Amino acid sequence: MADLMEYKCPNCGGPLKFDADAQEMKCPYCGSKINVQALAAMDNELGVKSDSFEWSKVADKQWDEGETAGMKVYICNSCGGEIVCDESTAASKCPYCDSPVVMKGNFEGDLKPDIVIPFKITKKEAKERYYKHLEGKEFLPKVFKDENHIDEMKALYVPFWMFDCDAEASATYDATRTRVWADKKNDYVKTDHYKIVREGSLCFENVPVDGSLAMPDDLMQSIEPFRMEEAVDFQTAYLSGYLADKYTVSVHDSIGAANERVRNSAIDELRNTVQGYETVRNTGVNVAIDNGSCRYAMLPVWIMNTTYDGKNYIFAINGQTGKTVGNLPLDKGAARKYMFTRTAIAAAIVAAAEYLMLFLM
């Protein structure tokens, strides 16, 4: 069955129909009329191109013989996180959910990281960043700020897939500008419609995708960016004294997330070039990549678990830049008091205004 082409109204997005009486295209919703010849360019869009994401080279480096000697792999029975450390490191608790972990096995069949960003933030600095993050939070329970409330802090190398590619992107938009004026008899409104086309070439480097199922993706995206120019070739020595999470999302399963980040970034870049219009509506976009490749990276993150009111809260601190993120509990009593005070003030202002109006009358 052949694909159907539907002409859309550039003003409201409704379906345009040919009006035999007017010999023009007409929108049944907003009444806009458009000359048929003005839509001739749309006929060229009948053969719509689809996005093209082909990654030609992905990480495939294997561990060398004897390289993993003295290293251990633990697994968390609660969240499934896999933790790597050297034999001198105590890995008795999961850095994600704080549950006990047990010995699992070896590295057979696993990929070896290509690059690593060594830790720069110490444990002391990480604590300072954490407490600074809590400053100025009005509705944060006081006990949450007490140092003895920190259950444990762990320095963890988190697995990431870093994607590089070139991209060709194109997009079309319907835009409007409106002019309003009046004379002695009438008010006038004139709306001009524009069809805008944008095309461009973009280069993407180190697009990160979290390779751990145990680590929340939104948490990892929130501590970005990492300064990838400081990355070095991976050596097992960097793991000494630290924990490292094994990837539990394969590079092939991560490609979809990389495609989405590349596509969204390309769309944003093109959209930012469309300026000076009152309304802009995207009517089509195409993104195709070339020279796609990927590296396996280990990035430094401080993980901190805290508990409050029977719930576990996880915080992440970028082990290179110190950027701190995490969800915070709410002191409901303080929040209710704040809302009551605001409501009382608002009511007093309204009452005063009404009294003033009566006085003036």
151-to-27, 270, 324, 336 alpha-carbon distances in Å: 63, 46, 17, 29
Handedness of CA 38, 41, 46, 50 (dihedral sign): negative
Tokens read off for 196: 């805008």
Question: Residue-wise pLDDT tens for the chain (361 aa)?
Answer: 333 445 667 777 677 766 666 667 778 777 777 776 665 555 444 344 566 666 666 666 766 666 666 677 777 777 777 777 766 555 556 777 767 665 555 555 567 889 999 999 998 999 888 888 877 766 676 766 665 466 678 888 999 999 999 999 999 999 999 999 998 888 999 999 999 999 999 999 999 999 988 888 888 999 999 999 999 998 877 877 788 888 888 888 999 999 999 999 999 999 999 999 999 999 999 999 888 999 999 999 998 877 777 777 788 999 999 999 887 765 454 444 444 445 545 545 555 555 454 444 4
Cα dihedral value 118, 124, 125, 129, nearest 10:
120
CA–chain centroid gap for 195, Å, is 30
Separation CA 101–CA 80 (nearest Å) = 9
